[in-house]
Amino acid sequence: MDFEFSEEHEAVRRTAREFAQRSVAPIAAEIDKQARFPKELVEELGELGFMGIEVEPEYGGSGFDPIAYVIAMEEICAVCASTGVIMSVNNSLVCDPLRKWASEEQKQRWLEPLATGEKLGCFMLSEPEAGSDAAAQKTVAEPKGEGFVINGVKNWITNGPQADTGILMCMTDKAKGHRGISAFIIDMNGEGVSRGPKDDKLGIRASHSCQIFFTDHYVGPERLIGEVGQGFKVAMSTLDCGRIGIAAQALGIARGAFEAAARYATERKTFGKAIADHQAISFMLADMAMEIDAARLLTYRAAALKAAGKRHSTESAMCKLMASEVANKVAKNGVQIFGGNGYVSEYPAERFYRDAKITEIYEGTSETQRVVIASNLIRALG
């Protein structure tokens, strides 16, 4: 197994790190406090080629592999998880299913502006009563002429308030259960599509989400992704890829929290020496570094399998589960190392702590990841 990065990967790392330090770090705390969508950062991400990092150049993307995507995500999220998840959704949940499932005509019309950053995408699967149970869709698309009329509500849609284009999962045949779900491309500014107020969230506050309402929204047959009834398959393969992106986000949060805590521990003195020289703190830092590295290796493995075109459902669930739980543990211990200073917004520890929690929830909760891992393992044994 080769643990060396290519020159291309190192170039992506340098570019992402320079962008994070130059453009993101100076405003990360500000946009979190103000819950302000960082439009200027998203535009720069597009200029750098990071909004369609795995998309083929003929469709406006950078043509990099999934490992490059993980590298870039970690670097950006180590500074600002909000900025990272805006990029992640556009890449993993919008560009990726279009790459895999869309027709050539759909790719030319919809994928290219998303990959270049000209437009922003969102992914609409969750509903008020369909979160972890993704098959319990109540949004329906009823046939009308050659197309469909869509009615329903989608919940927690990241990028929803700003999105130009959406990937929608909804029922076309309730009698068939999950085999009756179909996927559509949605013009988010189309007639019959409206948005609720942005959600007031604990963390990733500069990344906006909201409810999306469909009221007699008509789509023609050219908006169907794949075939009627393939939506659940599209959604599950998309989430397998999305979990790699969230694992990378969690890695970034964990690394940012660790680095801030380690720096503080070398500066803060008690009983005549830096707190990093106290065994309780030094052991805590050692465990944080070890667990981050273990989660990173799981994430690289899933990304490498995806790059090789191999099935990676179990590996994606494993890396997402591990990285998200590590992020929460590291961020919590980071606050502890900062002590009282970790509880105030003057220092970054509390922001990392708040941002970490969502990684255990979206793209499938930790409980859902364990279900996926266990069921796949049992199936393999059978």
- Domain end: 232, 263, 282, which one? 232
Residue 276 belongs to some domain of the structure: yes
Residue 133: predicted pLDDT: 79
Same domain membership, residue 376 and residue 242: yes
Which CATH number covers residue 108? Answer: 1.10.540.10
Which residues share a beta bridge with 214? 152, 193
Residue 322 belongs to some domain of the structure: yes
Whole-number Å distance between alpha carbons of 48 and 81: 18
Residue 218: predicted pLDDT: 98
Which CATH number covers residue 343? Answer: 1.20.140.10
- Asked whether residue 132 carries a pLDDT value surpassing 90, the answer given is no
- Domain end: 174, 204, 232, which one? 232
* In 196-310, alpha helices (H): 231-267, 279-307
Same domain membership, residue 244 and residue 324: yes
Same domain membership, residue 193 and residue 272: no
Whole-number Å distance between alpha carbons of 246 and 89: 9
Q: What is the pLDDT of residues 10-65, one digit of tens each?
A: 999 999 999 999 999 999 999 999 999 999 999 999 999 999 999 999 999 999 99
Whole-number Å distance between alpha carbons of 99 and 116: 14
Same domain membership, residue 279 and residue 211: no
- Asked whether residue 230 carries a pLDDT value surpassing 70, the answer given is yes
Which CATH number covers residue 200? Answer: 2.40.110.10
Same domain membership, residue 372 and residue 239: yes
- Asked whether residue 162 carries a pLDDT value surpassing 70, the answer given is yes
> Is the overall model pTM greater than 0.85, yes or no?
yes
Residue of 44, 74, 360, 363 with catalytic role: 363
Residue 2 belongs to some domain of the structure: no
Domain extent at residue 214: 122-232
Same domain membership, residue 364 and residue 250: yes
**What's the total number of domains in the chain?**
3
- Asked whether residue 291 carries a pLDDT value surpassing 80, the answer given is yes
Residue 105: predicted pLDDT: 97
Whole-number Å distance between alpha carbons of 142 and 131: 22
363 is catalytic: yes
Same domain membership, residue 19 and residue 30: yes
Q: How confident is the model at residue 287 (pLDDT cuts 50, 70, 90)?
A: very high
Residue 309: predicted pLDDT: 96
- Asked whether residue 3 carries a pLDDT value surpassing 80, the answer given is no
- Asked whether residue 131 carries a pLDDT value surpassing 90, the answer given is no
Whole-number Å distance between alpha carbons of 252 and 240: 19
Q: How confident is the model at residue 257 (pLDDT cuts 50, 70, 90)?
A: very high
With pLDDT > 70 as the criterion, what percentage of the chain qualifies? 100
Average pLDDT rounded to a whole number, residues 226-252? 96
Same domain membership, residue 351 and residue 242: yes
Q: How confident is the model at residue 312 (pLDDT cuts 50, 70, 90)?
A: very high
Q: Contact, 24 vs 41, CB < 8 A?
A: yes
Q: How confident is the model at residue 365 (pLDDT cuts 50, 70, 90)?
A: very high
- Tracing tokens 């990092």 back to the chain, one arrives at 53
With pLDDT > 90 as the criterion, what percentage of the chain qualifies? 96
Residue 266 belongs to some domain of the structure: yes
Same domain membership, residue 277 and residue 223: no
- Asked whether residue 134 carries a pLDDT value surpassing 90, the answer given is no
- At position 185, the amino acid (one-letter code) is I
Average pLDDT, the chain: 96
Same domain membership, residue 274 and residue 189: no
Same domain membership, residue 20 and residue 67: yes
Q: What is the pLDDT of residues 48-57, one digit of tens each?
A: 999 999 999 9
Same domain membership, residue 239 and residue 223: no
Q: What are phi and psi of 198, to 5 degrees?
A: -65, 145
- Asked whether residue 1 carries a pLDDT value surpassing 70, the answer given is no
